Chains A and B, each alone.
Chain A
Amino acid sequence: MKKIICSVFIAAGLFTSCSSDDDNGTNTPLNPTPDVYQFERNGKSSVSYGGQTDRLMMGAELGSALKDPANTQAVLEGMFTNTGNHFENEALNSSSKNIRSKTAASKDYFAANTTESNVYKADFDTWIANQVNEVFSNWNTTASPGVAGKIEEAGGKVRYVNAKGLEYDQAFMKGLIGALVTDQILNNYLSPAVLDEADNREQNDNELLATDKNYTTMEHKWDEAFGYLYGTDNAANPQLGADSFLNKYLGKVDEDEDFSGIADSIYNAFIAGRAAIVNKDYELRDQQVAIIREKISMLIGIRAVYYLQAAKESLGTDPAAAFHDLSEAYGFIYSLRFTRIPGTETPYLSDVEVRDILSELTKNNGFWDVTPATLDQTANAIASKFSFTLEQAATN
C-alpha cells in the first residue's frame, strides 16, 4: 500500500515535470497528435517553410537549364547562387534564398568543417562548368570512349555524357539530394544543435513566439526540415513525386513492396515530432529524429544500389541506358556522405569511402570500361552498410 502511494506521487511528479506551467500548478492537457501535418495557434497555421519551397523550385529550374545547351556557364552559376535573375519564375529571382549556400552546409557536419564544405561546393561548380565546356560544346558529337557527346538509348532517348559516360546534370541533381536536401534535413534542422540552439527550449517551453511570427523558433526549425521533403507537395496529403529530389524518390521506393510503408513512417515521424515540440516533449521529438534519419538515409542507399543493379542489366546491350542509370547511381552514391546513422555524428559511408567508390567507377574510360563484377561489388559494399539486402533494393 505504501509503495502504491509513493509511486502515485512519483507518477504525478513526472507528469507535471518539464511542462512550462509548473509554476501555476495546473496541468496543461497534451495536444493530440494530428493525422496530417497541420498545426495551428490562435486559429492560424503555425507552419512555415517558404524558403525550402523556393530552393526546391530553384533546383527544378536549374535541373532543366542544365540540359539546355543554349545556357552559358554564367547563367547556370547564377541560378545556383540566385544572382542575375535567371529564373523564369520571377518570385524566385526576388527570393533572398539560394541553393549553393545551403549545399554541404549543415551545422552538424560542416559548421566547423567549412574547408570540406568548400570542396563539395566546388564539386557542384565543376559539374556546371564541365557541363558547359565539355558536354554543351560537344552536343552534336557522338560520344565514344574518351569523347564527350550524345548517345542514344534503344528506346530513342538521347543522353549527353562526358568522356567517361557520365551525365553531369544527373551527378548534380542527384548529388543535391544528399548535399542539400538530406544534409539540411538530417544534419541541420533536425539536429539538437539547431532545434535547441540558444534559448530555443526555454522559449518553446513558455511559448514565446519568434518576433512577429506565429511559431516558436523550435517549431519553425522543425517545419524547415519538413519543407525540404514536402515543400512542393501537399503537406496535408503528400502525393510524392512532387519534385525531382527526395520527395520523388521517396515515392519510388515506397512503391517497391520490399519497402512499402516507408513514406508513411517518415511522414508520421514528422507529424509526431512536431506535435512533441508543441507538447514540449523533447525526448519523443528526438525519437522521431532517429526514425527520420534512419529512413531517409536508407532511401539514399536503396536508390544507389537500385541504379547500380539496373545498369548491370543493360550494360552489354544498351550502353546509353546503362550510362543513365550509372549517372543516377553516381549522384546517389555521392549523397551517401550526407546520410546520418541515428545516435552518431557520422554518415553511413564516409567521404573517403564515397570518393573511393566514385573513382573506381570513373577510372580510365569510366562507364565505358566498368564491369558487371565491379557494379555488384560496389552495390554489395553499399548494401552491407544498411539493413536492406541487395536483392530488396534491386527490384522496383
Chain B
Amino acid sequence: MKRSILMFCLALTSLASCSSTDDSDKNTSDGFDRTALLTYTADQRIIPIFKDLQAELTLLESTRAAFENNPNSAQLEQLSAAWLSAYKVWQHLQMYNLGQAATTSLDAERGFRTYFNRYPVDQQRIEELVAAGDYDFEAIPTYNAQGFPGLDFLLHGTSTGDAQAIDKFTSNTLAANYQQYLKNLVAHMQQVNTRLLNDWQNEYRATFINNTQNGQDGSFNQMANDFVFFYEKGFRAEKFGIPAGVFSNQPLPDRVEGLYKKDVSKDLALAALDAIENAFNGKAYQQETEGPAFKQYLEFLDRNDLVQSINQQFEDSREAINQLDDNFYLQVQNNNSQMTQTYDVIQAAVPKLKVDMKQALDFSIDYQDSDGD
C-alpha cells in the first residue's frame, strides 16, 4: 500500500516536470508514422518535381537550340515561354533544400537554389563574364549571374549599348559569346538537376526515409525547417517584403522576382503559394490525391483547428495576391501600400507555422529572422 502511494507520487512528480528539454536524439513518441510521411514526400512530391523540372529544362534546352539556329523574335518568345514554364515548376522545388542540394553550392543558406533562383542578378557581372568568355557556374563570381534570374536578363533585359533584348544575340559584337553563355547556363542547370535527381533516386531517398530521428538532423526536422524557411524568406520576404521596402528605408522595385520580364512576378508568387499549400496538405505532385504531410500530422494530433487556420491564411494570401498587378515592379512604385497590405496578410501565417505548428509537431527552427541589435 505504501509502495503504491509512493509510485503514485513519483508518477505525479514526473508529470509535473517540464517536457521542453527532450533529448534531441530520441525518436518521436507521439505515435505518428514519420517514415510513411517521409516516404510519401520523397515518392509523390520531391522526386516527381525533380523529374518535372528535368523535363522542363530539356524543353528549355531544345527551344534554346532552335533560337540559336534562328535568333528571331518569334523564337525568343518561345524561349521566354519555356523559361517561364520551367521557372514555375522550380517554385515547387525550392523548399526541398535537402541532402546534396543543401551542400551543392558554397552559399550555405541557399544551397542548390544558388544555381536556380538567386536574385537580383548582377547585370554588369553577366556582361563581364560574357565578354571574358571564361566562367565556371559553380564558382562564387558567377553566383549572381545565373539560374532563372540570369536567363531572365538574357531573354528580356537589354545589354549595355543595345536597343532591345534580342540585340545581344544578333547585332551585339559579343553575340556569339552571349549565345554561348546562354547555352552553358542552361546546360549547367540541367547538370545540377540531373545530379540531384540521380542522387535522390539512387542514394538519398533511402537515407532520407530512414532518418526518422527527432533531432535537428532528422529528415522531418530538416524538411519542416526548409518549409517554414521557404515560406518566411523565399516567399514572404523575397517576393513581397524586400521589394516593398519592409526591411529597408524605401521600396526596392528592382528586387522583384522576374525583374526583366516584369509582368510575371505575380505568376511566380502564385506558383510558390500553390507549392506551399500543396506541401502543407500533402498533395501528390500534379495530382489531386493527398497523403501524409503537415496537415495529416496535425490532424493526427487533434489540431484540426490549426490546419484550418493555416489553410485559411493561405486562402487570404491568395486573395490578396490576386488583387495585385501582374507586374510587381510597377505595383511597388504605383501603390506600395497594397503591396505591404499583402505582405501583412502573408506575415500573419508565420507565427502559426513557426510557433504553433513547430510546437505541435515538435521540430526545431534552426534560424532566426530578426537582425537583433
Interface residues of A (CB under 8 A from B): 2, 5-6, 9-10, 12-14, 16-18, 20, 22-23, 49-52, 81, 83, 97-98, 100-101, 107, 111-115, 118, 193-194, 197-199, 201-202, 205-206, 217, 220-221, 224
Contacts and interface: CB of A to CB of B under 8 A. Distances in A.
Given A9-B9, A198-B367, A101 B249 contact: yes
A6 B6 CA distance: 7
Q: Which of B8, B23, B246, B369 has the most CB of A within 10 A?
A: B246
A224 B372 contact: yes
A97 B373 contact: yes
A23 B23 contact: yes
A17 B18 contact: yes
B368 interface: yes
Contact of B244 (A112, A114, A198, A224): A114
Contact of A198 (B5, B245, B365): B365
Give the bracket for the number of chain B residues in contact with chain A.
Answer: 35 or more
6 contacts: A9-B13, A101-B248, A114-B241, A118-B245, A198-B364, A199-B366
Contacts of B21: 18, 20, 22-23, 202, 205-206
Contact of B348 (A2, A112, A193, A220): A112
A167 B340 CA distance: 31
Contacts of B247: 101
A205 B20 contact: yes
A115 B245 CA distance: 11
B347 interface: yes
B21 to A, nearest CB: 6
Interface in B1-45: 2, 5-6, 8-10, 12-14, 16-18, 20-21, 23
B246 A6 contact: no
Q: Which of A5, A6, A16 has the most CB of B within 10 A?
A: A6
* For the complex of A and B, 7 pairs with smallest distance between CB atoms: A13-B13, A51-B373, A17-B17, A198-B365, A9-B9, A112-B347, A18-B18
Q: Which of B17, B21, B245, B343 has the most CB of A within 10 A?
A: B21
Contacts of A20: 21
B344 interface: yes
B5 A115 contact: no
Interface of B: 2, 5-6, 8-10, 12-14, 16-18, 20-21, 23, 241, 244-249, 336-337, 340-341, 343-345, 347-348, 350-351, 354-355, 364-370, 372-373
Contacts of A201: 20
Contacts of A118: 245, 336-337, 340
A5 B20 CA distance: 27
B20 A98 contact: no
A112 B241 CA distance: 11
A201 B20 CA distance: 9
A98 B347 contact: no
Q: Is the interface of A mostly helix, strand, loop or mixed?
A: helix
Contacts of B249: 81, 83, 98, 100-101
Contacts of B364: 198-199, 202
B337 A18 contact: no
B344 A112 contact: yes
Given A10-B16, A111-B347, A115-B340, 20 more contacts: A10-B12, A13-B12, A13-B14, A13-B17, A17-B16, A17-B18, A18-B18, A22-B17, A50-B373, A111-B350, A112-B350, A113-B344, A114-B340, A118-B245, A118-B337, A197-B370, A198-B364, A202-B20, A202-B21, A206-B21
B20 to A, nearest CB: 6
Nearest to A101: B249
Nearest to A196: B355
Nearest to A23: B23
B20 A114 contact: no
Contacts of B367: 198
A51 B351 CA distance: 26
A187 to B, nearest CB: 13
Nearest to B344: A112
Contacts of B341: 115
Contact of A5 (B9, B354, B368): B9
Given A2-B5, A17-B18, A114-B244, A199 B10 contact: no
A2 B14 CA distance: 19
A18 B18 CA distance: 5
A199 B365 contact: yes
Contacts of A23: 21, 23
Contact of A18 (B17, B241, B340): B17
A220 B372 contact: yes
A6 B17 contact: no
Contact of B13 (A12, A51, A197, A206): A12
Nearest to B341: A115
A1 B370 CA distance: 54
